[in-house]
Amino acid sequence: MVPEAEVKDVLDELQRLRARVPLLTGALAASTDGLVVAQDTPGIEAEGVAALTAAALGVSIRMSDATGRGGFRELLIRGENGYIATYAAGRSAVLTLLAEDRINVGRLHLEGRRAGARIGEVVDAAQDHGERPVPSPRPQQSGTLPRRGTTPDPT
């Protein structure tokens, strides 16, 4: 996924964002398929929020496409007790912010968009750097079980 050094960079960005915007109660960077990259979400189960973010992202992308509005940029949900904002973060990540109801939504968008762009650069660069040809799998020795997620060689 994302190497440890880049995860630290993303976490640092989340923490700086929360310091700049005091009414943020949580910040989470996740892959578009719902895996946590880094999180600063005290009292919130990050894995569940990341999975729900991926589901909401899927619906948002389909709505954008169906209505001719172009690629996904952001999603804002307002609940009785605050906001959930999700921003595109490069090609393969999203930034989800949790905020109190009193937050200035314009400031939330400004800071969220900037942080999403920075996180996207880090994650995309890590993935671009990590895309190398995958070596061929080694043949299975007889009497051993195949590794999980693989199928045995029929020969």
Could you tell me the pTM of the whole model? 0.81
Average pLDDT over all residues of the chain? 86
DSSP code of residue 45 = -
Q: Does residue 126 have a pLDDT over 70?
A: yes
Number of Cβ within 10 Å of residue 147's Cβ equals: 8
The per-residue pLDDT for range 30-59, each reduced to its tens digit, is: 999 999 999 999 999 999 999 999 999 999
Q: Does residue 8 have a pLDDT over 90?
A: yes
Residues 6+ apart with CB under 8 A from 35: 1, 50
Q: What's residue 96's pLDDT?
A: 98
Question: 149: which 2 tokens?
Answer: 């997620």
Q: Does residue 144 have a pLDDT over 50?
A: no
Residues 20, 104: Cα–Cα separation, whole Å:
13
8-22, 85-99, 139-153: lowest mean pLDDT where? Answer: 139-153
